[in-house]
Structures are given as C-alpha cells and as structure tokens.
Structure 1
Amino acid sequence: MKNIDLAKKIKELRSRKGMSQEELAEKSQLSLRTIQRIEGGETEARGDTLQRLAKALNVTPDELIDWTESEDRGFLVVLNLSALSFIAFPILGIVVPLALWMLKKDKIKYINETGKRLLNFQISWCILVMFFSIFPIVTQIFHIGGSIVRGFQIFNLGAMESFILMVPILYVVNLVFIIVNTIRSYNTRKVFYQPAIPFLR
C-alpha cells in the first residue's frame, strides 16, 4: 500500500470526525510532526503508530488500511504456498512462511490470522515428524517404548516399519492441507489448519 493512500484515509477520517491535526496528535499521543508527515505521505504508519491512530479515530487498524483485494489474495496465496518448502527440509516450512508473515504483518487483511494458523500447524507438524523419525532409533538404542511402537502397527507391517511409515503419511497430509488452504485463501475464505498446538495466539 502506498503512503499516499493511507494519508488520504487518515485525513478523511480526521476531517469527518471534525478533528484538527493537533487534536489527533494529542488523542493518539503522537507528535504533531508525526501526524503531519503521515498525512503528507512522507511516512507510513505501522505497528504501534497505526494502533494509536486507529484508537484515536475510533476505527480498527484494518479499517485504516486501504485494502487492495487482488494484492491481498495474491500474497496470502504465496504465504500458504511458501510452506511447501517443507518438502526440501521440514524446518523451512516454518522459516519461509515466518519471514513472509513478518514482512507484511499488519499490512494485509487476514494475514495475521492466516500466518499464525499456518505457523502453528507447521510447528506442530515438525514436532510430529521429528517424533516419528527419532523415536524408533531411540527405542532401538535403549530398548524402550516397545508397547508404544507396537501401538502404531498398520497395514500388517512390523511395529517399527509402521512407525517409520508415518513420516511419509505426514508429508502427504501437510501437502494436502497447504493446497486446500491455498485455494481457500484465493477464494477469500478463512484457512483451516487443524489440529495444531496454538504456539502463536
């Protein structure tokens, strides 16, 4: 979003509420110079500044931002697809989406919700993959957890083979979730990444 778009939006809302720049500065606890620079398009309100302005103008931060629907959808699609990097290495399924989310955080509609749900799912998924990858090795070394391993017997395979087979199954599940939620984002629907541990709230 260009600075000038946000500047117009803030100026329009301020005028509509009959506030001067000085009054807005006082109510938002920002300096008059900051208000002037934002309204002049010299700087863009972000993070805490955006929150303060929204509160002073009695709107949500979302309402302050001039959404461009096609750009929103495009970036949300890219954000979801970025999790496919887990195919190269599991941790990349967290790192790449996290970097993209931080880049556009609070700038695109639904990005915080989408980013948190995606990251919670990817972190939970990584923990499961590590568990199913490492646990059989640990049990072989220390001869522990035999009953747990036997509990994972599937398709008439041995307990250890069944346990190891869970890793490719988890990869397929992750792939399906990413594709489905990419389509949901493109159609401006909320993403569904469950079950997941809510690390980010």
Structure 2
Amino acid sequence: MTTVGKKIAEIRKQKGLTQEELSEAAKINLRTLQRIEKDETEPRGNSLQGICAALGVPVESILDYGKVEDPGYLVFLHLSVLGGVFIPFGNIILPLILWLNKRDRIKEVQLHGATILNFQIVWLVVINVLLVTYFLLKITKEAYANNYAYAAMAVYAINLIWPVVNAIRVKKNPEKQLYPVLIRFVK
C-alpha cells in the first residue's frame, strides 16, 4: 500500500518539483515536508491543503483514510450491470446504488463505479438509437433494416460479455480502468 508521504513524493517528482519548491509553494517548512515524505509524520489541516494546492491535486487523491481493499465488491459492482437483463435500466440503477453506497469506503470503487456508469449511459443511448432506427426502417420496408437489428444484438451481447470479463480482470488488477471512457457524464 502506498503511504501518504510516498504519494506526495511521487506526485512532486512527476510535476518536476524539488522539495524546496514544493515547501515554498505550499507555505510549509522544508523539514516538515521532508518528514512527511519519509512517513515520519502525516500531513494534517493546512499543511495537507497547502501541499495538495501546490501540487494541483485534490486532497482525496492523496488520502485513503478508512478505505479498505475489497476486490469482491468490485467484482459484484461489475456484475451488477447484468441486472439490466431483468430490470429496465438495471444496468444503470444497480451499479449507481452500489457505487453511491461504498465509493467513500472501498478503494477503487470511485474509479470503477464512475467508468461503469459512463459506459452504461453511452451503451444505453447507442442501443436505443439502433433499435429506433431498425423499427423506423422496418416500417418503411427498407431492405437493410435487419442490419440495424444485427448491430443491436451485437451491442447487447457485448454488454453481457464485457462485465463478466471485467469482473474476472478486476480480481487480478483492481487499480486498472477496464471500461473505455467515451463520454464522461459521472466523475
């Protein structure tokens, strides 16, 4: 597990800052920053806010207070998408409930829940556009209307297979983002 001090040092180095530059920008003592990065002390209050502001990152990205690792919950979160087979809009409602319930208590739920919801919203729009197009073309008796039905079936099948594959993959690497971010509706 990465400690707060190591996260700060890592972000500082990625931004190309020295300890002196960061301590000056964060308005804290250089020795305090050195102790924080060596995990001799933990930043609190104004020190933490100053460091995060100087690094340009939210405090939440540095701290994981009270969060536990639970790959089983992440697996369940990914599989909850399959609820859309049984419940209308279940592919959005069930992951949304699970995400809102545990995003502050379990590591990586924030990332996975947001990407699942973004993907499902885009998927829902695409599948509905395909189905509406199919029905409109079927009414006008266009010969290529069935192509849209086949495309809708393929898109539907992808949404049945992809969550199962991701549920398996998330057990191996819970920190990896498994859905493409097409459009970000939820952060």
Q: CA RMSD in A?
A: 3.1
Segments of structure 2 that go 5 or more residues without pairing to the other structure are 1-35, 53-57
Deviations 1:139-192 (A, max 9, x none): 455x59x6xxxxxxxxxxx41111112222112111221012111221134132
Q: How big is the shift at 1:89?
A: 4.1
**Residue 162 of structure 2: aligned partner:** 177
Segments of structure 1 that go 5 or more residues without pairing to the other structure are 1-12, 29-53, 147-157
Write out aligned runs for 1:87-106 (5 A).
Answer: 87-89=85-87, 91-106=89-104
Write out aligned runs for 1:28-107 (5 A).
Answer: 55=49, 60-61=59-60, 63-69=63-69, 72-89=70-87, 91-107=89-105
Q: How big is the shift at 1:117?
A: 0.7
Q: Secondary structure at the match of 2:107?
A: coil
Q: How big is the shift at 1:57?
A: 9.4
Change (3 A) 1:165 1:99: same
Aligned residues: 142
Q: Secondary structure at the match of 2:185?
A: coil
Q: Write out the 4+ residue segments of structure 1 that deviate beyond 6 Å after TM superposition.
A: 56-59
Q: Secondary structure at the match of 1:193?
A: coil
Q: Secondary structure at the match of 1:118?
A: helix
TM-score (norm: length of structure 1): 0.59
1:194 aligns with 2:180: yes
Is contact 2:116-2:179 (8 Å) kept? Answer: yes
Change (3 A) 1:57 1:122: same
Q: Give aligned-pair identity as a percent.
A: 27
Deviations 1:53-85 (A, max 9, x none): x6489794463424433xx21111111110111
Q: Secondary structure at the match of 2:63?
A: helix
**Residue 13 of structure 2: aligned partner:** none
TM-score (norm: length of structure 2): 0.63
2:116 pairs with 96, 106, 118, which one? 118
Change (3 A) 1:75 1:186: same
Give, in whole Å, the separation in 1 of the partners of 2:43 and 2:145: 71
Aligned-partner residue type, residue 196 of structure 1: L
Change (3 A) 1:163 1:89: farther
Aligned-partner residue type, residue 197 of structure 1: I
Is contact 1:77-1:182 (8 Å) kept? Answer: yes
Change (3 A) 1:97 1:17: closer
**Residue 127 of structure 1: aligned partner:** 125
